[in-house]
Amino acid sequence: MVRETFEIMGLLLIAWIMLLFFFFVMNIAVYLTEELPPFTRGVSRGALGVLLLIIWLFLYLVLRNVYAKTKGIKPPKLFIG
């Protein structure tokens, strides 16, 4: 087992913690929107959920780009780079 595998495990662990943190935030949002009318409640929860999922994916990709840089690999020239 090479060092890089341990490092990528660390990356996966951070991604997992971030994912759980977003569900925790979502749980708070569910609690706070309890009193809203059904339609507004559904739309706001759905929008926030999708937004959090996109943010998670974005951060996951930024994280691995930073990691790739430390390995001397030039990350892609895209918005996520």
Which residue from 24, 26, 62 is spatially nearest to 47, judged by alpha carbons?
26
Task: Give me the least distance between CB of 76 and other proteins, in Å please.
Answer: 4
Burial 20-32 (b: 16+ CB within 10 A, else e): eebeeeeeeeeee
Shortest approach of other proteins to residue 8 CB, angstroms? 6
Q: How far apart are CA 5 and CA 74, in angstroms?
A: 19
User: Please, which residue, 28 or 35, has the CB nearer to other proteins?
Assistant: 28
Instruction: Tell me how far, at minimum, the Cβ of 33 lies from other proteins, in Å.
Output: 12
Interface residues with other proteins (CB under 8 A)? 1-5, 8-9, 11-13, 15-16, 19-20, 23-24, 26-27, 30, 42, 46, 49-50, 57, 60-61, 64, 67-68, 71-76, 78, 80-81
Q: Classify 25 as helix, strand or coil.
A: helix
